[in-house]
Amino acid sequence: MEITLLFQIAVIGIITSVLNTILRQANKDEFGQAVTLIGVTIIMARVLIEIGDLFQTIRTMFQF
Amino acid sequence: MDLITVIGICICAVLLSIVLKQYKPEFSFLLSLTTGIIIIILIVSRMTVIIEAFNSIAAKADTRLLHLDVILKIISLGLIAEFAVKLCKDAGESAIAGQIELSAKVIILVLAVPLILLVLDTVLQLVPK
């Protein structure tokens, strides 16, 4: 349920860091930054949906 | 969804955040953000009992006096603002946290003004002329 979301974020974070080190070996650092950006945007989109859920719950709960 | 589950989720999140902090600090911030959101969603859904009790009291008494909706709105604003402030402080941005705190206080005060006036009016009525 919600815990999977946490694990998704952790997995994406670790994958991007591993990719970064690999790309650094192949001295292509700019791709590494690109990978990090992509990872952050993916998780940001996912988190924005959660924030929408949060505000919806607050709205219905406190009869805004 | 009792306390044990919440503690379990939070401990896992803290562990993951520590792991992520060495490699990618930005992901640890996103992780703490999502954990906070998940916990608030879980706990707020448990508050229905309290709000039902409020409503039953308001139904008996004169709801105009109780201003129940203003109180509930202030509670929820405080909840969210406090979460955002702690989150920003966690990420090291205490200046931004201060701005959130300031705006939350202003908005809550604006909401509370009619209540304050009501209390003052009732007090003035009690004072003998």
Average pLDDT over chain B reads 89
Both tokens assigned to B100: 């959130």
Do the chains contact at A61 and B48, CB–CB below 8 Å? yes
pLDDT computed for residue B48 by the predictor: 85
Position A55 pLDDT exceeds 80: yes
Nearest to B95 by CA among B108, B85, B81, B83: B85
Is the pLDDT at A1 greater than 80? The verdict is: no
Interface predicted TM-score (ipTM) of this complex, two decimals: 0.86
The answer to whether the Cβ–Cβ distance between A57 and B45 falls below 8 Å is: yes
Q: Which residues of B are less than 8 Å from A16 in CB distance?
A: 24, 27
Residue B14 C-alpha from the chain's centroid: 22
Which of B16, B41, B76 shows the shortest C-beta gap to A10?
A: B16
What is the Cα–Cα distance from B121 to B119, expressed in whole angstroms?
5
Q: Which residue has the higher pLDDT, B45 or B19?
A: B19
pLDDT 10s digits, B86-125: 999 999 999 999 999 999 999 999 999 988 898 898 899 9
Asked whether the beta carbons of residue A9 and residue B27 sit closer than 8 angstroms, the reply is: yes
Kindly report the nearest CA distance between residue A2 and chain B, in angstroms. 7
